[in-house]
Amino acid sequence: MFRKGRYSTRVAETEADIRAAQRLRFVAFKQGEDVPGIDADEFDDICTHILVEEDATGKLVCCFRMLPLTGGSEIGRSYSAQFYELSALKEFEGPMVEMGRFCIHPDARDADILRVAWGAMTRFVDENGVEMLFGCSSFKGTDAEIYADAFAMLKDRHLAPRRWLPRVKAPSVFRFAQSLRLRKPDAKLAMLRMPPLLRTYLLMGGWVSDHAVVDRQMNTLHVFTGLEIAAIPPTRKRLLRATAG
C-alpha cells in the first residue's frame, strides 16, 4: 500500500501472508504459550489483511484485518456482533469498516509502527469513502480492577452517543459505566493503562460501549469502539493524511 520511514504496509495476497499474520497474532495475544501456534477464525476468510513490515529485514511487525460493510444493515456480519447487541447501528447509512485483530509484535517498540498502520487505514478510508470505523479494543487480561481508572475515564468522557450505544449480549461482562459511576479517574494512570490503539481512537473522537466483555478465550477485556470519520477534528485529519501521503 505505501512505505514510510523504516516500514512498509501491504495487503496480504497469499496463504503464506495470512498464515504469517496468524502466527504474529498468536505471539501477541497468547504470550506465555509453550508451543508455537496460530490465531485463526472463520472471519479471516472474509477480511482483508494488512501487513506492516520492516524494510531492512522483511520482518512482520504489525498486522490487522478489515471487514468492509456497505452500511449498518450489514452489522450482523461483523466479528463484534458476536459479543455486542448492535441493532442501534443498523440505522447507520454510510460505508463502514470493522478493524480487528490489530497487534504489534511484543519485541517491536517503535512508535512509528502504529503511525504507519493508521496511515494505511487512513488511505483505505479515503479511497473507499468509509464513514465509520469500529471494532473491539482489548485490554490484556481479565482483571478489571487493574484498569479501573481507564474504565472510569471511558465512563466520564467517551461513552457512545445514545443513538448508537451497543447493548449487552455476551454472557460475561463488566458494566463499568454503572459499577464505576462514582469513581473519579486519575487521568495520568488512566492513560497509562489505556491500550495504545484505543488511545488513538479516543484522540480522534472515538467512543466506546458502556460495558466491557470478559473474553476468557482471548484472555482480554474488550470494549466496542466506534469512530465516525466526519467527527474527527480537522487537525487530526490533517495529521493522519500527512502520514498516509
**pLDDT over threshold 90, residue 245:** no
Residue 159: the pLDDT is 98
Spatial CB neighbours of 27, under 8 Å, sequence gap ≥ 6: 105, 106
Cell readout for 168 is 449487552
Q: What is the pLDDT of residues 99-122, one digit of tens each?
A: 999 999 999 989 899 989 999 999
Q: What is the pLDDT of residues 122-136, one digit of tens each?
A: 999 999 999 999 999
**pLDDT over threshold 70, residue 16:** yes
Residue 208: the pLDDT is 98
Q: What is the pLDDT of residues 161-206, one digit of tens each?
A: 999 999 999 999 999 999 999 999 999 999 999 999 999 999 999 9
**Among 6, 30, 105, 33, which residue's Cα sits nearest to residue 64?**
105
**pLDDT over threshold 70, residue 40:** yes
Cβ proximity of 164 and 86 under 8 Å? no
**pLDDT over threshold 90, residue 239:** no
The domain of 219 spans: 2-244
Q: Which helix (H) or strand (E) holds 152?
A: helix 148-157
Phi, psi of 133 (to 5 degrees): -105, 145
Q: Name the domain count of the chain.
A: 1
Residue 84: CATH number of its domain: 3.40.630.30
Residue 32: the pLDDT is 60
Q: What is the pLDDT of residues 134-162, one digit of tens each?
A: 999 999 999 999 999 999 999 999 999 99
User: What's the whole-model pTM score?
Assistant: 0.93
d(CA 48, CA 86) in angstroms, rounded, equals: 22
| Furthest CA-CA distance within the chain | 51
